[in-house]
Chains A and B, each alone.
Chain A
């Protein structure tokens, strides 16, 4: 089964702070994704990538940057964190476009105070 590992699992930062969330997948999947999960909104796509050096804009990208450094590693960057970015963040990966299983990590809970 595909493995997606996120770090850290929990993070507290101050408003205006810099945060980097890390994700690594070990099944050589082409696609990697960053979602945020908020009650009532389900999962909303922030950014995604189909390979090293590639970045695609998701549905809620404002305030976030992302970088895919290798096939395995995908990072989410919050350069000026705001309380509205307090959320549960999930990284995910999949092998092909769209209609295939997406494998999720266990999530990173971020609190911006």
Chain B
């Protein structure tokens, strides 16, 4: 059973549009949700994160919206740029998870110029 799910698996947007990447989770004890960005040939790198006490986290063009009741979150990338083309992973950890991060399956984003 996959604890963290992402949709869509792939997404294509035009330059300047807003890309919306979705994530949901099963474990109600999860309280930390980072998003990682991965370019081909590289390891994932932390992009932005949110804790469950907040419902929104913004960093430049990247915003996480968090709905604790529905166990859902989304990553919005405004004014998408071709350089944002990458795979994005939603992850989660919590009080019962110790040092473990559980990752979703990823969303492959393509931004067309």
Contacts and interface: CB of A to CB of B under 8 A. Distances in A.
Interface in A54-71: 56, 58-59
B60 to A, nearest CB: 17
Contact of B45 (A56, A59, A104): A104
Mostly, the A contact residues are strand
Interface string B6-22: 10010000000000000
Interface in A82-113: 90, 92, 94, 97-99, 101-107
- In this complex, the interface size class of chain A, counting residues with CB under 8 Å from chain B, is 20 to 34
B41 A106 contact: yes
A43 B51 CA distance: 21
A98 B105 contact: no
A42 B106 contact: yes
Given A94-B99, A98-B99, A104 B43 contact: yes
Contacts of A40: 9, 105
A50 B31 CA distance: 21
Interface of A: 4, 31, 33, 35, 40-45, 48, 50, 56, 58-59, 90, 92, 94, 97-99, 101-107
